[in-house]
A and B are shown apart, each in its own frame.
Chain A
Amino acid sequence: MNCETAKPLLEAYLDNELDRADAREVEAHLDACEACRNALSKLDGIRRALRDNSLKFSAPQALRERIAATRHDTTRRPQWLNYAAACVLAFCAGGVSMHLWNSPQQNGIAHDVFASHWRALAATSPIDVVSSDRHTVKPWFAGKVAQTPVVQDFADHGFPLMGGRIDYVGDTRVPVLVYKHGQHIIDVFVMPSGTPLSSTTEQGYRLETVDLGGQPAAIVSDMDATESEKLRDLLKSN
């Protein structure tokens, strides 16, 4: 590597965006070249000037409170909506078949499951307890949820158990087993017996249902159907 090839990489090197091989080559060149060392140190000088804490503004308390207040408002259901819900209920009870009534309920659960999954992906870590093996995960659930789920590790089949967490589906606390497959993070929500669940997709995410030791469970991820079914069959067979 010479100055000509190193120069365009200096910023990416500073920003930690080079792969290891390129970074090593840049470093080798820096060892030998004073001009590039100076250029890098100038870039670093700008960084230090900008990273100075006095340049970072923190949200004022008033803004925090304003958002908290809005959150509260939107979470509370307006009166007319309760009335509308009552009308829908009356309509359904009045002769429309139970099948029609069941599907929005199922969709509601599915939607809550998807929302919990996305929220977990957005969090710093989707797991509360890290799996060293399944024996650390199962006891962790004991006492935290009504029914301890069946916990299995499928590392041999390409679906290692990462750990578990407790999450909410609607207002029910449920155990969630977290698996990994390649880059995919997979949540398995273990629902209370009798929860109506059916396979569905939402915004490119898939919900696959499986019976896990007598409890209905939802496998949620952005894997494709084949991979989803593979994990389903693994969970089912054990």
Chain B
Amino acid sequence: MTATTDHWIGELAQQHLDAAYNLGRWLLGNEQDASDAVHDAYVRAARAAHTYAGGNARAWWLAIVRNCCLAKLANRKRETTHLRAVDNEPSVADVEQRAEADQRRALVAEQLRALPVEFREALVLREIEDLSYREIADVLNVPIGTVMSRLSRGRAMLQRAFASETTNEL
């Protein structure tokens, strides 16, 4: 790795650090794991800089971040299940935030968190990060048709969840 390529990867990582961290948070659920995964991704990207073959650099970087997150998720599954339950619980900070923010937002976050990971990540990249279908396809390494069907199913699930919540409230 030359200083120049490292410089380039560093710029890229810093420029899209919020997007990387946001994806990590929604995949892994807590600050520590998300930070670790993004840091791993940076080290991996700097090492693999020479394999970057052009195209959308943000998608290339987020694909590496996602792989590091999925590796962490796989590790976590191998560990005891009660750890997983703890991780999925909202942190103290989240609970405090919830007291201040309105109920509706907290509810949406909860329902997004409850979606299976493949729908959750597609929705996070599309709706929160505003990536195009092409970019999402590059990050997830699936055809565009798959991106469309995951978005569609994810939206349908959320719509049902929102609807049932409204009925419960009534």
Contact = CB atoms under 8 A, between A and B. Distances in A.
Contacts of B132: 15, 17
Contact of A71 (B10, B20, B31): B10
B128 A11 contact: no
B18 interface: yes
Contacts of B148: 11-12
Contact of B52 (A58, A75, A118, A222): A118
B158 interface: yes
A157 interface: no
Nearest to A77: B3
Contacts of A58: 18, 21-22
Contacts of A116: 4
- Main secondary structure, interface of B, reads helix
A50 to B, nearest CB: 4
Contact of A118 (B8, B39, B123): B8
Interface residues of B, number: 56
A116 B43 CA distance: 20
B54 A55 contact: no
Contact of A55 (B2, B6, B8, B128): B128
Nearest to B5: A115
A106 to B, nearest CB: 14
B126 interface: yes
A165 B126 CA distance: 32
A15 B126 contact: yes
B133 A15 contact: yes
25 contacts: A11-B151, A17-B132, A17-B133, A46-B127, A46-B155, A51-B128, A54-B97, A55-B108, A55-B128, A56-B18, A59-B35, A59-B38, A62-B35, A63-B17, A63-B35, A63-B38, A67-B39, A71-B6, A74-B1, A111-B4, A119-B8, A119-B11, A203-B50, A203-B52, A203-B54
Interface of A: 11-12, 15, 17, 42-43, 45-47, 49-52, 54-60, 62-64, 66-68, 70-71, 74-75, 108, 111-112, 115-116, 118-119, 121-123, 168, 170, 203-205, 222
Interface of B: 1-8, 10-14, 17-18, 20-22, 25-26, 31, 34-35, 38-39, 42-43, 46, 49-54, 57-58, 97, 101, 104-105, 108-109, 112, 123, 126-128, 132-133, 148, 151-152, 155, 158-159, 162
